[in-house]
């Protein structure tokens, strides 16, 4: 559904009413279709999906209530609005109990009532769709049945996660960048009674203070330049579910009291608003900072820290769980190979040695990047050392991710260095043709003179 535009079916046995409703909705930019009876409406619904059905309650033949029941059974994603005369309001209330989202009285005293009702229905549908998408993304991003954690330290962390999942306690996940804090947060949500509700994630370090406040708590229309409509924040979207606050240690001191209030009372006001909003949300926070040190330095509120740190879980860095490095790499490689349409069966012995010797300053996130790059460069059925490009000492990851072109150039230069400049052997090591290697060297501005051994 394009923003502001919906496909709407209008059902009424009165031609004048059908014309009025469809005209108003067309002026709003919606795609409208009209039906003179419930039976005709069902025929249309069988062929097309409508975001909204607006139907008269009393019609000859199939009633609006019967049409509602059929729509709810066959296409539950469709919202139904009822048109009813004053004397049949009780019937409309009954229809609301059976799944209608709104009703309007006939005759329409003001077309704005219809416009407002449709806008509200579409906004509610948009928010519901967003929450559903977030729930679906949980399973898509994190296959919970395939957690790789053979190392005792990681097993202990997972045991703690399973233990706290069934409670409503707030959790604080600590560990270096790239250790999988969001994945564990999603696992806790998945294992909890809230699993069928939304999991909403916010990176507190990714947004400026004013934007983060609006993202968390929402804003009212006109609260600031560009706030053209009311917007619900992440706390409201996570109502009944779980809110994951990543990099919570980066939250500004001015925002910390507002977060503390939500944790203590479950209430807040949107930016630019005076109405108090009440939510019930479980909070899982994560940080790679030493929050205790920040508390002692007066850079993080101690009362907020204690509210967040109800149940702490520390995730070990990858270098402290060496037994998981190769299994994790193989798991990532299987997924990447499938995505690329390649048949890469694993790592060569020398590649495994490099994986085990490397320090992994970027932890699992770096391992994933290295394996994905290696799979792209690999032309055979096994990852070779030159594909990994881990011959240099471990160094912190750059703040700006490298492009595929840069990564490919590094791999080629590393292969040439390993083969003493012999381009034929370098091409064989990379699993590419010699002509392809020369093409790449010319693109990168690297001399391509032939040597005697080529």
The model's pLDDT over 324-358, given as tens digits with 9 standing for 90+, comes to 999 999 989 988 888 888 899 999 999 999 999 99
Q: Sorting pLDDT into bands at 50, 70 and 90, what band is 140?
A: very low
Residue 27 tokens, joined: 């002026």
Q: Sorting pLDDT into bands at 50, 70 and 90, what band is 320?
A: very high
Residue pair 279/236 in contact (Cβ under 8 Å)? The answer is yes
Q: Is 204 helix (H, G, I), strand (E, B) or coil?
A: coil
- Tell me yes or no: is domain 320-443 CATH 1.10.8.60: yes
User: What integer pLDDT is reported at residue 202 of this predicted model?
Assistant: 93
User: What integer pLDDT is reported at residue 220 of this predicted model?
Assistant: 87
Residue 332 tokens, joined: 């990532």
- So where are the chain's domains? 7-125, 142-316, 320-443
In whole angstroms, what separates CA 132 from the centre of its chain? 10
CATH of domain 142-316: 3.40.50.300
How far CA 176 is from CA of 70, 179, 297, 396, in Å, comes to: 53, 6, 21, 12
7-125 and 142-316 share one fold:
yes
Which has the higher per-residue pLDDT, 321 or 403? Answer: 321
- The dihedrals phi and psi of 33, each to the nearest 5 degrees, come to -130, 145
Q: Sorting pLDDT into bands at 50, 70 and 90, what band is 266?
A: very high
The model's pLDDT over 354-382, given as tens digits with 9 standing for 90+, comes to 999 999 999 999 999 999 999 999 999 99
Burial 191-207 (b: 16+ CB within 10 A, else e): bbebbebbbbbbbbeee
pLDDT of 401 strictly over 60: no
Write the burial class of residue 118 (CB in 10 Å: 0-12 exposed, 13-18 middle, 19+ buried): buried
The model's pLDDT over 281-291, given as tens digits with 9 standing for 90+, comes to 999 999 999 99
Residue 270 tokens, joined: 């949107």
Q: Sorting pLDDT into bands at 50, 70 and 90, what band is 394?
A: very low
For the whole model, what pTM was predicted?
0.58
User: What integer pLDDT is reported at residue 95 of this predicted model?
Assistant: 65
385: number of Cβ within 10 Å: 22
Length of the chain measured in residues: 454
Q: Which CATH architecture has domain 7-125?
A: 3-Layer(aba) Sandwich (3.40)
Which has the higher per-residue pLDDT, 24 or 401? Answer: 24
Cα–Cα dist 405/440, whole Å: 10
Cα–Cα dist 307/263, whole Å: 7
Residue pair 311/223 in contact (Cβ under 8 Å)? The answer is no
The model's pLDDT over 26-70, given as tens digits with 9 standing for 90+, comes to 998 999 999 999 999 999 988 888 999 999 988 999 988 889 888
Please state, rounded to an integer, the average pLDDT across all residues of the chain: 84
Residue pair 364/325 in contact (Cβ under 8 Å)? The answer is no
């Amino acid at each position: 559904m394009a923003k502001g535009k919906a496909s709407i079916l209008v059902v009424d046995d009165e031609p004048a009413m059908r014309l009025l409703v469809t005209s108003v909705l067309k002026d709003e930019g919606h795609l409208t279709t009209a039906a003179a009876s419930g039976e005709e409406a069902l025929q249309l619904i069988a062929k097309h999906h409508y975001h909204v059905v607006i139907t008269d309650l009393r019609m000859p033949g199939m009633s609006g209530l019967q049409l509602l029941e059929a729509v709810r059974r066959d296409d539950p994603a469709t919202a139904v609005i009822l048109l009813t005369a004053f004397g049949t309001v009780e019937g409309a209330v009954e229809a609301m109990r059976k799944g209608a989202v709104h009703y309007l009285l006939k005759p329409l005293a003001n077309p704005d009532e219809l416009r407002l009702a449709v806008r509200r229905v579409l906004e509610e549908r948009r928010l519901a769709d967003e929450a559903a998408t977030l729930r679906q993304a949980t399973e898509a991003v994190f296959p919970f049945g395939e957690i790789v954690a053979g190392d005792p330290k990681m097993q202990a962390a997972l045991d703690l996660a399973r233990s706290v999942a069934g409670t409503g306690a707030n959790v604080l996940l600590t560990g270096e960048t790239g250790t999988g804090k969001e994945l564990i947060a999603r696992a806790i949500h998945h294992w909890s009674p809230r699993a069928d509700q939304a999991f909403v994630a916010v990176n507190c370090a990714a947004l400026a203070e004013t934007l983060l406040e609006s993202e968390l708590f929402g804003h009212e229309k006109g609260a600031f330049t560009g706030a053209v409509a009311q917007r619900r924040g992440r706390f409201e979207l996570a109502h009944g579910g779980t809110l994951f606050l990543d990099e919570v240690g980066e939250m500004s001191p001015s925002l910390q009291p507002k977060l503390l209030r939500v944790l203590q009372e479950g209430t807040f006001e949107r930016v630019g608003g005076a109405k108090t909003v009440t939510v019930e949300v479980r909070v899982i926070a994560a940080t790679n900072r030493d929050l205790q040190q920040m508390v002692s330095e007066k850079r993080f509120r101690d009362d907020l820290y204690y509210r967040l740190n109800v149940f702490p879980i520390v995730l070990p860095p990858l270098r402290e769980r060496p037994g998981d490095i190769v299994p994790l790499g193989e798991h990532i490689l299987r997924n990447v190979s499938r995505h690329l349409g390649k048949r890469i069966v694993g790592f060569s012995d020398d590649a495994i040695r490099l994986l085990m010797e490397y320090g992994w300053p970027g932890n699992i996130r770096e391992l994933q990047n290295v394996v994905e790059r290696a799979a792209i460069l690999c032309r055979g059925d096994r990852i070779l050392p030159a594909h990994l490009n881990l011959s240099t000492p471990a160094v912190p990851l750059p703040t700006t991710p490298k492009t595929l072109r840069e990564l490919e150039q590094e791999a080629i230069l590393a292969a040439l260095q390993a083969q003493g400049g012999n381009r034929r052997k370098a091409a064989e090591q990379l699993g590419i043709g010699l002509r392809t290697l020369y093409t790449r060297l010319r693109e990168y501005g690297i001399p391509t003179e032939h040597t005697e051994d080529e």
